[in-house]
Chains A and B, each alone.
Chain A
Amino acid sequence: MRSIPFRRVAKDALEDQDAQRLLKILPFAFRALREAALSELPDPKGALKKAAEIRADALEVLPELLETFEKNAKANGTNIHWARDAKEARLIVLGLLGAQNSKTVLKSKSMLTEEIGLREFLGEEGFETLETDLGEFICQVLGLPPFHIVGPAINVPVERVSALFLDMGFIQGPVTDPVALGVAAREFFRRKFSEAKVGITGVNFAVAETGSILGVENEGNIRFLKSVPKVQVSLMGIEKLVPTIEDAFYVLRLLPPSCTGQRMSAYVTIDSGPRRFGEFDGPEELHVVIVDNGRSKIYEDPKTRPALACIRCGACLNVCPVYAQVGGYPYGFAYSGPMGLVWTPMLVGLKAANELLQACSLCGACKEVCPAGIDHPMLILELRKKLARKRLLSLEGIAYGVAGFGLSGGMRENLGLKILRPFYNALGRRFGLPLLAPRRFREAFGAAQNKEKMP
C-alpha cells in the first residue's frame, strides 16, 4: 500500500469549514451521551473492568474458541469459511454470490468489509452492492470514505443529503428534516429488501459455546438482511470470539453506551444457524466467513495481541484530541482515531503508516474510555519501536542518534551544543520548535555555584 498522507489530508480537514463546525460539537456530544448512558449502570467502572477482562481472557484462548465456534456453528447448519487474507475473503464472497442468480447484493455496515475492499471488488466483478445502512449508503453514493467508524456520513450536511435524495427521486422537493429523509430512504430500501437474494453483514460478537453470531444496529436494515434474502453471508475477523452468550452480553452492555451513548441499540440480532423447518423467516443458507487478514500476526506478538480486544465502538475517537481536530479522513483507511493508529499500521504495513503513527501526542485519553481495556499509547509506542527498527538510516534516525548523544552528557556546556545552537534555532524558528536559550540552565547554575563557593 502507498504511504498514508496523514499530514496533507489533515491540512485540508483543518480548512474544511463544515468539518470544523461539526468537530466542535460531535466528540463532545458523543462523550456526554456516553457518560450519561454509563452512569445508569449500577457500577460503571466495574462493568468496564469486567468487559476488558472478558476480552483479554477470550484472546488468551482464541484458537480454541475458534475451533469450538466452528464445531457448534456447523452443528447448527451454518457454513463456515476461513479466509487467510483480504483476497481470499473477497473470493469466497464472490463464489457464494456466483451460485445465486442475482447481480445485486445488499449489504449492511461492516468495518471489516471496508478493510478488505469488498464493495469495490464486487463492483469490478460486475455485482452491484447496495449499502443499506443510511450513512454508509450516503458515503457510497457520494464516493466518500467513512468520517467516523460509527457515523460514516455524519459530516455530510443535511442539505447535501436532501439534494442527493432529490436527484435519486426519493423525495419530490427539498427536505431538511433528517427524520423525513430517513423515512424516504427507508421506502427505497424496503423495495430493495423484498427483492434481495443475498445479504452481506458484519458481526459484533461470535459466541463459541452456541456457534452464534451477534449483530447490533439501530436502523433495522440488518434485521431485514437476516430475514428476507435466501442467502446470508456474514464476515467477521478472527478476534470477535467470546466464550459464552453471557460473556457476549456483558460486553454488549457496554457497546451501545461507548458507541452512540445509547443504553442499548434499537436492535440486537443473534443468528444460530439458518432457517429451520417451520420457521417463517431467516436465510436458507447462512455463511460465516472468518477472516484473518494479518490478525494472526498481531496475535503472535504478546505485545500487540491486546489490540485484538477492540470491539469497534469508537469511544476512543470521541475523546481523541487529534481526531477532534481533523476527523476521520486523514487516517486513510477503514479505521480512524486511536484504534486506527493501532490497527491500520499492522494491516497495511508499518512503512505505509509512517506518518499515521505520528498522529498521536500520547495524551492517554483513549485508554481511559476503552471498554476493551486497550492501552493505545503503549501499543503505539510498540509500533513506533518496530517502525524505528526499519528506518535506522532515515534522517530522523540520524537526528535522534545525534540528539541522544548530545543529551547523554551531564552538566557541562559542551562544544557540540555551542556549535549546534545557532543552527538549531534557525531550524526551530522555521518549524515552530522551542528555541534554545543562550545559556543552558546547567551552565548558568554551575557558574552561580562557583561564585557562591568563592571566598
Chain B
Amino acid sequence: MYQANLFVPCLVDLALPDIGFATLNLLRRLGVEVNIPDTPGCCGQPFLNEGRPKRARALARGVISAVENGKPLVVPSGSCAEMIKFHYPTLFEDEPRMQAKALELAQRTFELSSFLVDELGIEGIGLDIQGKVAYRPSCRALRGLGVRSQPLALLSSSRGQGASELESAEACCGFGGAFSFHLPEVSKAMAHARLEPFLQSGAEVLVVIEPGCMTHLSRALGKHETKQVRHIASVLYEALERRARP
C-alpha cells in the first residue's frame, strides 16, 4: 500500500478542520495509507513572512524531525509546501547537517494536487463534479511550485465541462497571511476584484488549492445563493463519495 505523511497546516488545523478531514479521507479513498506525524502546529511560514526567521527555523526543525520516515509529505496548501520545499533549506544555511535533511525533505514534499497527479498518476479519472467549476491558481503554488495544470486535470469532469481558469486568475486574492491583517481594506478590495470574473461567469464553485485563499475569498463572497469558494480537497472528496454511493 502507498504510504504518505499528511502535513496539516495551522490554518486547516485551527480554523478549517473540514479541509483536513477531506484531505485525509480523499487520500485514504485513493488507497493511500496516511500517517499524520506529530509536527509542530505550523510550518513557520507566517513567521518567515514577518521577518522572524528564528521562530520559523524552530518550527522547521520540529517539522523536519517529525517526518524522517522517508515517505512523501503531502500538504493541502501550496504556500506551506513551498515553504518546506524552498525556504527550509535556506533557513539552515549555517547548519549543513540540518540543511541536508531539509533538502531531503524538500525532495518528497508535495502540494496535494501535484501529489495526486505527478506522484500517484491520477488524472482525468472522470470525477462527477456537480455544478460548473472554475479554478484559480494560488500565488505560491503557481510561481513557487509551478502548480498549474494539475488541479485543472483533477477537476476535469466526465459529465459536463471541466474547470475553467478565470480572467486575471493569476493576480493575488489579497490574503497573503498577515498582509490581510495589516492592510484589511486593500486586502478586501483585492478579493472583491478577483471575485468579479467569477461572479460574471456561469461557474458555481470557485476551487482553490490554498486554505488561505479559500477563507479570504469566501469571506469576501459572503452568503451567496448559488456560488461558493471551496478547497480542492473538499470538492474532490465529495465527488468521490458521490460516485461511490450512486
Contacts and interface: CB of A to CB of B under 8 A. Distances in A.
A385 B53 contact: yes
A326 to B, nearest CB: 6
Contacts of A437: 14-17
B227 interface: no
A358 B182 contact: yes
Contact of B143 (A7, A355, A368, A389): A368
Contacts of A383: 51
A410 interface: yes
B181 A408 contact: no
A188 interface: no
A444 interface: yes
A441 B55 contact: no
B17 A439 contact: yes
B139 A364 contact: yes
Interface in A53-101: none
A361 B171 contact: no
Contact of B55 (A365, A389, A404): A404
Nearest to A433: B181
B43 to A, nearest CB: 9
B84 interface: no
A430 B15 CA distance: 16
Contacts of A7: 182-183, 185-186
A435 B55 CA distance: 23
B40 A407 contact: yes
Contact of A411 (B38, B46, B172): B38
A363 interface: yes
Contact of A363 (B40, B48, B143, B184): B143
Interface in B1-57: 8, 10-17, 20-21, 24, 36, 38-42, 46-53, 55
Contacts of A431: 181, 184
B164 interface: no
A388 interface: yes
Given A361-B176, A442-B8, A410 B40 contact: yes
B144 A385 contact: no
A403 B50 CA distance: 12
Contacts of B183: 6-7, 10, 322, 358-359
A385 B53 CA distance: 7
A407 B13 CA distance: 10
A249 to B, nearest CB: 30
B188 interface: yes
B139 A435 contact: no
A70 to B, nearest CB: 37
B190 interface: yes
Contacts of A436: 14-15
A407 B51 contact: no
A16 B121 CA distance: 50
A375 to B, nearest CB: 11
Given A14-B185, A14-B186, 7 more contacts: A362-B176, A364-B144, A381-B48, A384-B51, A411-B36, A441-B8, A441-B21
Interface of A: 6-7, 10-11, 14, 28, 321-322, 324-326, 355, 358-365, 367-368, 381, 383-389, 396, 400-401, 403-404, 406-411, 417, 431-437, 439-442, 444-445
Name the 3 nearest CB pairs between A and B, nearest first: A361-B176, A384-B51, A363-B172
